Amino acid sequence: MAHEHDPPSPSEIPGVTLGSQWADEQARRPSPAQQKQARRDTFRRNFLAAMENSGLTIDALSEQSGVDMPTLRRWETKGVIQPKHSHLRSVARVFGLADPWMLLDPDAEISPENAPSSRNSPTRSLHPTIEEVRDDRPELFDAFTTEEWSELTSHRGVGGALSYEGVIHQAERINRKREIRRKFETLLESEHFRTLADMIDLMHRDVQLPRPK
């Protein structure tokens, strides 16, 4: 005599439980669009935090980093998924970030302690002449990093410390070097890379750098 049986529940059917779990996991996983938006939001949050810590305006950041205003405005309002490498490095340098990729890190906590301002203070006391120039010409030192302050204080003039004019000359030279490095990094990411590399190789052969002792 045939016996009637209740239909098996989904949990009794082989593979159904695992399939349901997989479907649930897929449903909870962010969609590609959500993942992209999360990356934009992460960058924007870190960028705005670094901006606040630096005390810079967008105009000043554009001038010091060389990144165009439309790009910075887009970062400020919408974020970005993958910024141009040269732009990222230039902005991170102005912010004083040792690691440019920190701006893309969702776990980054950008604070005054780990995101030093582009207006870093010198790590040691300054010669009175340097302090005098800094008070008279503060615009010369707006973008100075801690390393650049150290470079300035390491320079000596004829017979001793730098003169007033000597401090101005060295500060302008440091600012010029920073600007050249920024342009150099931009060119490295451009179609002029090969031409630039050939020029550097040619000039490097004519320069004899002192060997480290």
- Between CA 94 and CA 47 the distance in angstroms is 12
Q: Alpha carbon 193 to chain centroid distance?
A: 21
Number of domains in the chain: 2
On whether residue 75 sits in a domain, the answer given is yes
The answer to whether residues 76 and 136 belong to one domain is no
Predicted TM-score (pTM) of the model is 0.50
On whether residue 195 sits in a domain, the answer given is yes
Of 164, 28, 58, 51, the residue nearest 118 (C-alpha): 51
Q: Which domain holds residue 72?
A: 32-104
**Which one of 69, 89, 104 terminates a domain?**
104
On whether residue 211 sits in a domain, the answer given is no
On whether residue 115 sits in a domain, the answer given is no
The tens place of each residue's pLDDT in the chain, 213 residues long, gives: 545 555 555 555 555 555 666 666 666 777 888 888 999 999 999 999 998 888 888 888 888 888 888 999 999 999 998 888 888 888 888 888 878 888 888 887 776 444 444 445 565 677 889 989 988 998 888 878 777 888 888 888 777 788 999 999 999 999 898 888 878 877 877 888 889 888 888 888 877 666 655
- Between CA 146 and CA 118 the distance in angstroms is 9
On whether residue 150 sits in a domain, the answer given is yes
On whether residue 5 sits in a domain, the answer given is no
